[in-house]
Each structure stands twice: as C-alpha cells, then as structure tokens.
Structure 1
C-alpha cells in the first residue's frame, strides 16, 4: 500500500473529523491530507451569539459556586473549575486527538462529566449520531488524561418557546444524559490512521458530496468528448 503519511508527520483530529470519517472516508482523507473541505453554508450569527451568552451565563454561576437556575434540578453536581479548555491525547506517532467540551460537571464523588450546549429551534426528539460521537470522544479524552470520569455526558438543548416577544424571548432548556462508549473512539482512531496512510479512498456510495463531484466530472468529460468530435477536420481537407 502506498503510504501518504511520512515519518514525523502528525495530524490533530477533532470529534468532527471522526464524524466525517464515519460519513465518508474519501471526504475525510481529502479534508486531512489535502486540506480540501466539503462546501458549507454560513453559520447563523444568532447561534454564535447564543453560545457566547450561554457561556457567560454559566461563568457567572461558576463564580458563585452553584448550578445556573436553567439546569438546576436537571443535573446532579456543580460546575467544575480549573479544567483545561482543550483536552488532547497523543494516540500514536501520527495522530493527536483533541476535543473542547463546553462545560464540565463535577459530582459529589469528584467524577468529571462533560456537558455540551446545543441551540435548536425546538425540543429534540432524537440525539443526532454526530452528537453521540462527540460525547464519546470527550469521555475518552477525560479518561486518557487521568480524570475520574463515567461513561456518560450531558447535552443541554436550548430552544425558544411561545412568549410575548416584546417582554423578552422565552428560552427553555432540556438536559439529556447520554451514555457514552469510549472504546468506540480507539477503533475509529485506528481506522483513521490506516486510511491516512493509504491512497485516496474510493467515493462512498451514500455520500452526496461524492455523488455531486462524480456527476460534475462525468458531464465535463462528456462535453470534452463532444468538443473533440467537432474539432476533428473532415478527411477531404487533408487531400
């Protein structure tokens, strides 16, 4: 197998990179090796602002040593202090895995549990698989950084509810405890390393981006063939 990673070459992989790996190995390879990202639309500015407001809100109650009222009674424990902003772990000579939980909860027995904020238009019915993998990575990183942790994490979903808007927008919060599977992360890191050390993978059957690119390439090639046919001079011109 042709090796793409050279000695001493190292990549930093995030939870979103592993989500991409599960979705399409080809897109993952292009993203990491060639720095070619999938096309994406703009991130709504309201979501960015909401994240900023939520984090400042939590920081205020952290200084007071208690849970914010919006999640009080929904989580046991308190907001952790002095935790690193970023967790990382050297997996092998080529891969560093990192993640950045929004919050950490510390329980009465000093167990550290990751909590992530998500803004939505309504209360969620199901947890997206990408969120689940993200939390798996957080549990894995906590464990591999020597913290006492449990195979669980929290998702706090924030969404608007009906209200008299002139009196202020009413925001509700649902907290969901999610069982995590850190062992799954190790397998994905191994798979990521194998893919990055090999050539460009084949296009995935279910990847809409690969389908679009294949369709574009096919049409371009067809146009080139048509153009080539019309450019051929009639034989009588060579007489």
Structure 2
C-alpha cells in the first residue's frame, strides 16, 4: 500500500474562538518543548511535520511485554525481573489501566484549570508500591552491541516522556513515586544464525524524575495556542532549518526565472 500523500490537516485544530474542550497529547507537549513553531504550525494551522513509518518491531515487543506483565498483574504479584532488581512493587491491577494505556484515544487525562486545556498521555505500564505510590514504567526496545543506557542525546526525550506521565498522574490526584523505570530490551546480534528467532537482553533502568519543568511549559503552550503570532523556530529544529533553506532556494530560483522571463519578453530573442 503506497504511503499517504502529505496534506494539510483540517481536524483536531485549536480554535481560539471555540468553547469546546481541547485536548493536548503528551507528544504535542514534547513537540512544543522541541520547537514552538512546529507546534503552532501543527496544532493551530494544520501543517504537521512529515510522518515516518511506525517501528512495528518495537510495537510488537511492547505488546508482548504488556501481556507478560499482565499475567503477574492478574495475580497481584511482582514480575521475576522486578524481584531480580529488588523493586518493592507489583504491576498495578486497576480497571483504569485499560484507559490509561490507550494512547490514541484516552490515556491519563488531566483537566488543567489554569489553561482550560485537557492534557493526556498513554502509559506503557504502572506499578504500585506497598505504600500506594504509583510508578511510571516505559518499555523500550533497541539493538546495539554496547550496553544500553539513558544517557544519550535521544534518551533525553525518554526522560521527558516519563516525567510528563508523572505530572499527569499527580495532576489527577494520584500519589506518584519520583522514580520511574525503563524496561529496556536489547536485541542480540551475536548469534551464529537467525533461525527465525531473535534473543533479547532485558534490563531495568531507574530514572529519578523531575516534572517541575512541565507546569511552566504548558502555561507557555496555552499562550502560544491562543496567540496569533507564529513563534520563532527553535535553534536546533532541523525541520525549520530545512523549510528555511528550501524556501530561500525556491525564492531565488523564482526570482531568476522572473528576470529571465522579463528579458525574453518582446521579441523573444533572449537578447541575442
């Protein structure tokens, strides 16, 4: 099936003159953090960044991980991996988990009174301690020869992701642990042959979350949404750099063609 052609979006756009409740996803919060201009173009003007194919293998790993932890959730017992890492918690057995995991339609939904917006996000998993503290858990899959960690440039986004989830849970009144966990699976490529099988090393990596940056950011986000001025591009936004570079080249070409057209008008001899 061929990919969809790029088109301006006409649905799920913010209208500053509307009284309807508007929902902002976790990914849109992160988009605003990355580049306010890209956020504005997307959510106000319907011009999102170009899409890319889904990581279907990662999605399969996520689904299998969820099923595996659900087995222990139903029994209110810790997963053996949690025991190995001495994590005093069990997977949360709560009817809200189905809603909280639904990243596309529902997720954790926080009606934010200061902005009048509804912020939401779908988690991979939630664990709970004996004291009733909720622990945000995110599944990650990769394949690299070196030991996995969350110290790289791209992993900064992973940390923001779980911190937004912590902020959402606190916003709806839940008691939340400051420590989040990444269940990181690393596909091994050192086997002699494939044989239709891919083995993984599984590791749990803790992260001490700090969601203090989220509240001031969503205040700025709301002001941006309700404004009529397109915000400046972030310095490190490659999408905006591409648009600017392509725009300059196209404008320059159009100018050359316009001058050329003016020179050939009249006798059509190109000045010869």
Whether 2:197 is the aligned partner of 1:173: answer no
Question: Over aligned residue pairs, what C-alpha RMSD do you find?
Answer: 2.3
**Which residue does the alignment assign to 1:89?**
110
**Which residue does the alignment assign to 1:208?**
238
Equivalent residue of 2:118, what SS? strand
**Which residue does the alignment assign to 1:156?**
183
On the 8 A contact 1:136/1:184 being kept in 2, the answer is: no
113, 116, 119: which one aligns with 2:135: 113
Equivalent residue of 1:72, what SS? helix
Q: Residues 207, 235 of structure 1: CA spacing in aligned structure 2 closer, same or farther, 3 A cutoff? A: closer
On the 8 A contact 2:22/2:118 being kept in 1, the answer is: yes
**Which residue does the alignment assign to 1:100?**
122
**Which residue does the alignment assign to 1:147?**
174
Distance (whole Å) between structure 1 residues aligned to residue 265 and residue 66 of structure 2: 75
Distance (whole Å) between structure 2 residues aligned to residue 70 and residue 171 of structure 1: 14
On the 8 A contact 1:159/1:171 being kept in 2, the answer is: yes
Q: Residues 168, 9 of structure 1: CA spacing in aligned structure 2 closer, same or farther, 3 A cutoff? A: same
- Higher RCO structure (Cα 8 Å, ≥6 apart): 1
Equivalent residue of 1:157, what SS? strand
Q: Residues 153, 232 of structure 1: CA spacing in aligned structure 2 closer, same or farther, 3 A cutoff? A: same
Q: Residues 167, 40 of structure 1: CA spacing in aligned structure 2 closer, same or farther, 3 A cutoff? A: closer
Q: Give how far 1:61 is off.
A: 1.9
Q: Residues 233, 42 of structure 1: CA spacing in aligned structure 2 closer, same or farther, 3 A cutoff? A: same
In structure 1, list runs of 5 or more residues that go unmatched: none
Give the TM-score normalised by structure 1.
0.88
Distance (whole Å) between structure 1 residues aligned to residue 206 and residue 149 of structure 2: 14
Deviation sequence 1:206-232 (CA, Å, 0-9, x none) = 211111111111111111111111221
Deviation sequence 1:50-77 (CA, Å, 0-9, x none) = 1111111111221232222234322221
Deviation sequence 1:72-91 (CA, Å, 0-9, x none) = 32222111111342211111
